[in-house]
Copies of this chain bind each other. A is one copy, B any other.
Amino acid sequence: MSIFSKLSFKDQAFKLRENAILDATTSILGSKGYDLMTMDDVANAVGISKPSLYKHFKSKEDLVGEALIRLIDGAVDFLAQLDGQLKPIEKLTDLLEWALRVRLEGGMPFLPSTSAHVRDMLMRNLKYITRVLKLNGQIEKLVKDAQQSGDLNPDLPSDVILFSYYSRTCDPAVEYLQKFSKMDNEQIVKHMLQVCLSGISA
């Protein structure tokens, strides 16, 4: 075995554990949220000790930032992999559907706008901001194109559509339906999409 492959093997193991950490973080964030998630929680969930955790991420903020970046990257990848022929409105719908499924399967809300603490923290995370702006640029363009082509309401300011769209990815109605209704995930996704697009009125 050459030195290179050995190093690369170590690196691979390291990367693998890093992913396990991010998975655990994502899941714990999804259930308890930022403030209640302790670094001990994460370490225990992965089966390592806290100092080992800090070998990978230099702080709690850093860890959560990376977990969110991975999520954003997932969204960007999802968009990139979509059939280019699709209409903007179809891309937006598919992306929202994907985001809702991620959440229903135990992931964290896509947009953790919920806590002021987390929001401030993220605003200071340049790496995160960069990714978000990239994704935002793409979505904003899709929204405007969809308005142009008459698939999204052209009379609404695109800001309103954009922020409302984002908000649907972290809509608490999802959790309430999951907890209190007998619907399965597919039905929840279907109804959330319909409400997002057409509202609740007849």
A165 close to chain B: CB less than 8 A: yes
- Chain copies in the assembled complex: 2
Q: Which residues of B contact A170 (CB under 8 A)?
A: 172
User: Which of B152, B154, B161, B201 interacts with A153 by CB under 8 Å?
Assistant: B201
Q: Which residues of B contact A84 (CB under 8 A)?
A: none
A126 close to chain B: CB less than 8 A: no
Interface string of A156-184 (1 = CB under 8 A from B): 11011101111100111101110011010
A134 close to chain B: CB less than 8 A: no
| Nearest opposing residue in chain B for A161, CB measure | B200
What's the Cα separation between A77 and B145 when bound, in Å?
44
User: Which of B31, B113, B115, B196 interacts with A175 by CB under 8 Å?
Assistant: B113
What's the Cα separation between A165 and B195 when bound, in Å?
10
What's the Cα separation between A172 and B170 when bound, in Å?
9
Taking the closest CB of chain B, its distance from the CB of A116, in whole angstroms, is 5
User: Which of B89, B175, B194 interacts with A156 by CB under 8 Å?
Assistant: B194
A111 close to chain B: CB less than 8 A: yes
Cross-chain pairs A/B with CB under 8 angstroms, 10 sampled: A32-B116, A35-B117, A156-B194, A159-B181, A159-B183, A163-B173, A163-B176, A164-B173, A164-B195, A166-B173
Top 5 closest A-B pairs, CB basis?
Answer: A199-B199, A114-B114, A163-B173, A35-B35, A113-B172
- Taking beta carbons and an 8 Å cutoff, which residues of A are in contact with B? 31-33, 35-36, 89, 111, 113-117, 150-154, 156-157, 159-161, 163-167, 170-173, 175-177, 180-181, 183, 191-192, 194-202
